[in-house]
């Protein structure tokens, strides 16, 4: 049943995915602090907090600054899958609890054909409320591991 539901969500997501030829939606902005082992790492983030912005994500970007990322915000905790449709840069994704704790990190490779796939689904073991996409290897380079605490400060 769960696999069938995921397949339906995948098909609906692909059918509802924005056209790469269309303009990118407007993303919110803010600062995300990550605290781990007595250190703080600060990122400038774009915020994807609507179905439209979450569906578009980092599509068609050719680069992402080292201390930048995209924060995905969901209305409630769940286990939604991520894929790399029309995504051109390798990413790492951190799944974050509603209490702002890093639960899990996964690396996501660029698909052999970013437009046509196949696109593996990246889904965490536990429910989450937020997800953070950064350049692949960012968490490792900065010494950030599951259990880290995060703090989001919206731009004014």
Q: Tell me the whole-structure pTM to 2 decimals.
A: 0.86
The CATH class given to the 2-154 domain equals: mainly beta
Mean pLDDT by 10 residues, the chain (156 residues): 39 42 86 96 98 95 97 96 95 98 98 93 96 98 98 96
DSSP string, 105-135: EEEEPPPSSTTT-----B--SS-EEEEEEEE
Residue 51 half-sphere exposure, CB side, CA atoms within 13 Å?
Answer: 5
Degrees, nearest 5: CA angle 147-99-106: 45
* Close Cβ partners of 21 (under 8 Å, ≥ 6 residues apart): none
Look at residue 23 in the predicted model and tell me its pLDDT: 81
Give the C-alpha separation, 57 to 40, whole Å: 25
Q: Which two tokens stand for residue 94?
A: 């951190």
The three-class DSSP label of residue 41 is: strand
Look at residue 24 in the predicted model and tell me its pLDDT: 84
Domain ranges of the chain: 2-154
Look at residue 143 in the predicted model and tell me its pLDDT: 96
């Amino acid at each position: 049943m769960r696999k069938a539901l995921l397949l339906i969500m995948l098909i609906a997501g692909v059918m509802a995915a924005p056209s790469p030829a269309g303009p990118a939606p407007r993303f919110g902005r803010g600062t995300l602090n990550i605290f781990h082992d007595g250190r703080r790492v600060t990122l400038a983030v774009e915020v994807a907090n609507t179905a439209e912005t979450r569906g578009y994500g980092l599509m068609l970007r050719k680069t992402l600054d080292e201390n930048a990322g995209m924060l995905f915000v969901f209305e409630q905790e769940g286990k939604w899958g991520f894929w790399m449709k029309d995504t051109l840069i390798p990413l790492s994704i951190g799944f974050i609890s509603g209490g702002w704790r890093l639960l899990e990190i996964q690396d996501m490779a660029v698909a052999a054909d970013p437009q046509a796939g196949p696109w593996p689904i990246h889904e965490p073991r536990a429910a989450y409320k937020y997800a953070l996409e950064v350049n692949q290897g960012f968490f490792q380079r900065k010494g950030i591991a599951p259990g880290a605490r995060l703090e989001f400060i919206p731009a004014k």
